Chain A
């Protein structure tokens, strides 16, 4: 029993109620599905004054499902459509919103547009539900408005609409039985969707749905266009998509490059490996090669006097390793910067646990070798790392990998 949305509003007060009733009726009857609800919210949000009204109107609404739109209250927040369920709560909310909006709308033309939009939306929704393929615009007999709202619409809404088309559509309703027409009351349902078509556009449900979908897509494309620099020069979907793809790829590479460089430049940390720090624990735990490799300063900090962590197992040149684990390691304060220490653990390395360590050391490529002497640590990393305990160190090592 959807009513023809075309009967909406002239620029008169009376039409306010009409629109209101219309919206109410439309929303009552129609099962708005996900997409349509979303579209409607998006549409409603476009209008700032609508949005404020939506907000107030929405306050009294039944609670929505948690994933329902949060956009109802926000003005201009168009983008955040969460997952929605077309449940009755949502419908009620949308309904109330529309009514609230409509009543508050000053400009009749806006009312008109809203009603149009609702009609479109409702058409799609209802047609999806009912599988109605042809929706013909039929004027509800029950409405007060006679013929000329449609024509008024034609004039007001889209500037000289195809009056001819309207009339053609109008012709049909006159023939069709009134029962299929809408009744004003919200209680009955008909099989037909009443829609007022725009000029030059088809009225069947699929194309209307298509139209809504296209509008949404182009809205998103516009938004993307703002995001991606240089998109303005290109017009047309394919070109823009091209640009966007290129841009995303270049951003990805940039991120990758930056993070790699950060990781690489971090291990400009040289630390003293203390015997009891590592020798025991290295033998116990299978020290993750990656972690260790990451610690090697890939940047040519290959000072012989520096202690470099070499991968326990054979790995590629530490210099080449982007140190994927490194950042985490560094951030976890893995390095215990024992100060200045003359931690002469030199003999220690070869000592107890040494065997495994040694063999691994031999396998290291590009490492500057172990030099466990009293090396001054890089000042930059002193502060954060001072409190690291040895077990903490190794635990982190294990954890990271």
Chain B
């Protein structure tokens, strides 16, 4: 993502607002219809929580994948795929 800065190198407010609204759109709970202008603090807090939950989800999914691995027939093509995923 290109960082857009004004010529002086200072970051303008609009850029920040743009970034913030973009972040807001990423969050799962953001109301799309006439998206309310969430206060930045709330938004940042939401982001924190969301990132943490994403972390947890990734860990959980990885665990499940590895469990799945262990139950599968070791030589099946499926297992191979799973192994490759876990490796990546």
Contact = CB atoms under 8 A, between A and B. Distances in A.
A43 to B, nearest CB: 14
Interface string B1-22: 1010100000100011001101
Nearest to A249: B26
B54 A221 contact: no
Nearest to B70: A380
Contact of B44 (A224, A236, A297): A224
A247 B16 CA distance: 17
Contacts of A268: 72-73, 76, 78
B9 to A, nearest CB: 10
Q: Chain A interface mostly helix, strand, loop or mixed?
A: helix
Contacts of B44: 217, 220-221, 223-224
B58 A245 contact: no
Contacts of B38: none
* Interface residues on chain A, size class: 35 or more
* Interface residues on chain B, size class: 35 or more
A92 interface: no
A255 B54 contact: yes
Contact of B19 (A220, A242, A254, A297): A242
A99 B41 CA distance: 28
A115 B71 CA distance: 62
Given A236-B11, A261-B82, 6 more contacts: A224-B48, A247-B51, A248-B51, A257-B85, A268-B73, A381-B71
Interface of B: 1, 3, 5, 11, 15-16, 19-20, 22-23, 26-27, 40-41, 44-45, 47-48, 50-52, 54-55, 57-58, 61-62, 64-65, 68, 71-73, 76-78, 81-82, 85
